[in-house]
Amino acid sequence: MVLEQKQQRGRKKGTTGPNRHPRKNRIIVLEDMDFVWDEPDLIYLAAIWRENQSVLNMAKHFKRDPDEIILALIHLAREKEIKRRPSGLKGDGHGIH
């Protein structure tokens, strides 16, 4: 109860952001992911997406976790660099040339 009162007193009215509500057991999600890409690699990733390569083939090519490939593809889609494709993430199953 005393801790809760101290937290209430320390909180400013209208405070926003990640610390506006005290929380316990905070977890940083995707902490093990590498979000950094070199621009030429993103350009090539977009090109092989358009060639209908699978996410698994892309991951093998770049030696990265498939989830990192998917996150980069989401980035490219939001930047309007790639579009949806009929085969989705699966691709056509052929290897990268």
Residues 69/91, Cβ–Cβ less than 8 Å: no
Question: Region 34-58: what's the mean pLDDT?
Answer: 96
pLDDT for 22 equals 77
**Domain ranges across the chain:** 28-78
- Amino acid code (one letter) for 27: I
Q: How many CB atoms lie within 10 A of CB 21?
A: 9
For 50-97, write each residue's pLDDT tens digit.
999 999 999 999 999 999 999 999 999 999 999 999 888 888 766 666
**In the structure, what pLDDT confidence band is assigned to residue 45 with cuts at 50, 70 and 90?**
very high
> In the structure, what pLDDT confidence band is assigned to residue 18 with cuts at 50, 70 and 90?
low
What is the Cα–Cα distance from 29 to 72, expressed in whole angstroms?
A: 16
**pTM value > 0.95:** no
